[in-house]
Structures are given as C-alpha cells and as structure tokens.
Amino acid sequence: MFSDAVAALRCPLCHRAVQLMERPQRTLVCPSGHLFDAAKQGYFNLLTGKGTVFEADTADMVAARHRFLEAGHYLPLTTAVAEEAARALPDHGAVVLDAGTGTGHYLQAVIEASGASAIGLDISKFALRRAARLNPQAVNLVWDIWRPLPVAENSVDVVMVVFAPRNPAEFGRVLRPGGKLIVVTPRPGHLAEIADRTSMLGIEEGKEERLVDSMKGHFTLTRTYGLDVPMELTGRQMGDLAYMGPAGHHLGQQGEVNEPSGSVATLAKFRISVFTVS
Ligand SMILES: C[S@@+](CC[C@H](N)C(=O)[O-])C[C@H]1O[C@@H](n2cnc3c(N)ncnc32)[C@H](O)[C@@H]1O
Ligand SMILES: [Zn+2]
C-alpha cells in the first residue's frame, strides 16, 4: 500500500517522518514544514534545489529503454526478478525499494507478483515520468543513490538493483534485519554480437568478484546464478538496446543499426545475486 511506502520515507532535509497531503495538491510534508509537491505525472523530486553533477538518462534514452523492455525481450529476467523478490518479501506489510528504477519495468513485475508497497528511486526525471505512469501505486522519487537515502533505517524488506549503481552502506541501513538485496548485473559476453556492431562497452571479467567484495561488511552473498536469454534483434531493436544503456550518453542520437541480414542472434547473459543484510 502507498501508506506503508510513505511511512518508510524520511525528509531529505531534516530526516523526520513525512506525510502525504492530497490537498490543495499532492505533497509530501514533514513536521518541520519542508514540502515536496508531486509532479503532474505523480513522482516527487526530493533533489529540488540541490544541483547534481550526474548525467541523468535523457528522455530519448528512457523512451528506447521503455520500447525495448515492453517488447518483452528480457521477459525471463523480469520473471526471475519478480519471483526472487516475491520469495523474499513477507506476506503482510512488505516494502520493496527499487534503486535506479528506470522506467519501473522490473518494479511493476515485483508489485504484481508480491502485492508489496513500493518505492522507486532514480536520478532521471524522464525515467520517473514513465515509472510513475507504470507504477502509480508506488512512491517514485527523484533521488541520487550516492546520497543518504530519504528512507528510514530498518524499514524495507527488499532492495532491488537492476543495472544501476549500488550503495551498500545505505542499502544495509534501510533494510530490516534479515532483509534481502537483489542485484542484477551483466556477465562477460553479454550481448557480445550487439556490442560488436554498436559502441556498447563489453563486460570485463572479474566483475562478479568485485560485486561481492563491494558488499563486504554490509551483506553476505546468499545465492548467485546466471540466466541466459537468447534473442533475435532487428536493426531498430539493436539501436534501442545500445541507446538505452550507458553508451546512450555518448551516441548523440538514437537510431537504427544497419543490419544487412535483417536481424542478429545474440545472447543476453545476466547474473542474479541475492545478498542478506549482515
Ligand atoms: C541502465 S538503467 C537501469 C534502469 C532499470 N533498473 C532497468 O533495468 O530498466 C540505470 C538507471 O540508473 C539510474 N541512475 C544512474 N545513476 C544514478 C544515481 N546516482 N542515483 C539514482 N539513479 C541513478 C539511471 O537514471 C537509469 O534509470
Ligand atoms: Zn524536513
């Protein structure tokens, strides 16, 4: 429920609990009088007034991601994340936090599978416009994962991070004892055929070890496994794939990848890692 997610929030300025006011407009308000109005799409920008140097995903990058994900190319991953989260979430009063929620695609599947209350965070307001439309029952917040999260300690059952930055200390703080962190990362060889045709970066070896190392002191690895998803992609779909990721910042403008043979067979190689808060 929305109210459980709001109860987990803390004012980013004074760290006190916030309440949702519906009138005269939808606003999060704390006892010190700090106010955060909802954007017309329904998300809240808690970074207001604070400049950030981060280069957020653009509207076009978000549109490419939305098209690609909603076409179902990554459906086995979406299903796996939803099942993993549903397994880790309690039946009642569960709260899930999606760090770097993007268009809200994976969070939507988790909400559908679990019925949990949800908080989606992302630094891109363009991403949150989509996420707020896809998941109106979630609290969607513009926020920077590298800052202290505007979330109370011991208030969240699952943090999920799908191809987004990880802040282990903050994830550990907001999780309840026994809470789970679900991380999705690419494995070496991920989309190698597409990377060859676009300016997407390849995935380096050793990333898995670095992921586990970075969690030390905060989390223990409970389970990790690979998931391979074969795909056949057209030039347009390859264009979306290249543009929706980090390379999108440098590609200038989205487009189609010239593919004389019509389509290219490739393999998405994911890793799903489940950590338990120590
Ligand atoms: C590759 S996308 C993944 C989005 C989504 N999880 C998905 O898989 O569809 C990375 C997302 O992380 C967000 N992001 C990057 N750095 C961030 C930060 N410092 N704080 C919050 N969000 C961030 C981006 O805006 C983008 O939406
Ligand atoms: Zn406040």
Inside any domain, residue 207: yes
3-state DSSP of 83-116:
HHHHHHCCCCCCEEEEECCCCCHHHHHHHHHHCC
Q: Is residue 100 part of a domain?
A: yes
Cβ(97)–Cβ(158) below 8 Å: yes
33-81 confidence digits (pLDDT tens):
999 999 999 999 999 765 566 677 889 899 999 999 999 999 999 999 9
145 CA to middle of ligand 1, Å? 9
Do residues 182 and 273 make contact, with C-beta atoms less than 8 angstroms apart? yes
Residue 262 lies in a domain: yes
The reply to whether 17 falls in a domain is no
Whole-number Å distance, alpha carbon 15 to ligand 2 midpoint, is: 6
The two counts, helices (H) then strands (E), for the chain are 9, 11
CA–centroid distance, residue 2 to ligand 1 (Å): 22
Q: Is 120 in the pocket of ligand 1 (CB under 6 A)?
A: no
For 9, 204, 231, 235, the CA distances from 185, given in Å and listed in that order, are 27, 12, 18, 24
Write down the pTM of the prediction.
0.95
Ligand nearest to the CA of 28: 2
How many angstroms is it from 30 CA to the middle of ligand 2?
Answer: 5
∠ CA 155-116-219, rounded to 5°: 45
**3-state DSSP assignment of residue 210:** helix
Instruction: For residue 32, tell me if it sits in a domain.
Output: no
> Which residue has tokens 């389970």?
223
Tell me if 13 is assigned to some domain. Answer: no
Number of domains observed in the structure of the chain: 1
Q: Which residue from 61, 70, 123, 271 has its CB within 8 A of the most atoms of ligand 1, so it is best to mutate?
A: 123
* pLDDT tens figures, 12-26: 999 999 999 998 899
Residue 166 pLDDT:
97
Instruction: Give bridge partners of residue 134 from the DSSP assignment.
Output: none
Closest Cα to atom 14 of ligand 1 = 100
The ligand that comes nearest to the alpha carbon of residue 170 is 1
Beta carbon of 56 within 6 Å of any ligand 1 atom: yes
Point out the ligand nearest to the CA of residue 77: 1
234, burial (CB in 10 Å: exposed 0-12, middle 13-18, buried 19+): middle
Q: Calculate how far, in angstroms, residue 277's C-alpha sits from the geometric centre of ligand 2.
A: 28
Give the count of beta carbons closer than 10 Å to the beta carbon of residue 80: 20
For 89-142, the pLDDT digits (tens) are: 999 999 999 999 999 999 999 999 999 999 999 999 999 999 999 999 999 999
Q: Is residue 252's pLDDT more than 70?
A: no
By residue range, what is the domain housing residue 160? 43-277
pLDDT digits (tens, 9 = 90+) for 128-169: 999 999 999 999 999 999 999 999 999 999 999 999 999 999
Q: What is the CATH number of the domain that holds 136?
A: 3.40.50.150
Overall residue count recorded for the chain in this entry: 278
Task: Report the distance separating Cα 43 and Cα 270, nearest Å.
Answer: 29
Residue 22, domain member (yes or no): no
In a domain, 209, yes or no: yes
Yes or no: say if 137 and 118 are a contact pair by the CB < 8 Å rule.
yes
Q: What is the per-residue pLDDT for 91?
A: 93
Q: How far apart are CA 217 and CA 75, in angstroms?
A: 33
- Say how far apart CA 257 and CA 177 lie, in whole Å: 47
Measure the N-to-C terminal CA separation of the chain; round to a whole number of Å. Answer: 27
pLDDT given for residue 253 in this prediction = 61
Ligand 1 atom closest to the Cα of residue 56 is 25
104's tokens: 């809200």
- Going from the C-alpha of 48 to that of each of 19, 34, 39, 247, the distances in angstroms are 18, 11, 12, 27
Which residues in 127-260 belong to E strands, given as ranges?
139-142, 156-162, 175-186, 219-234
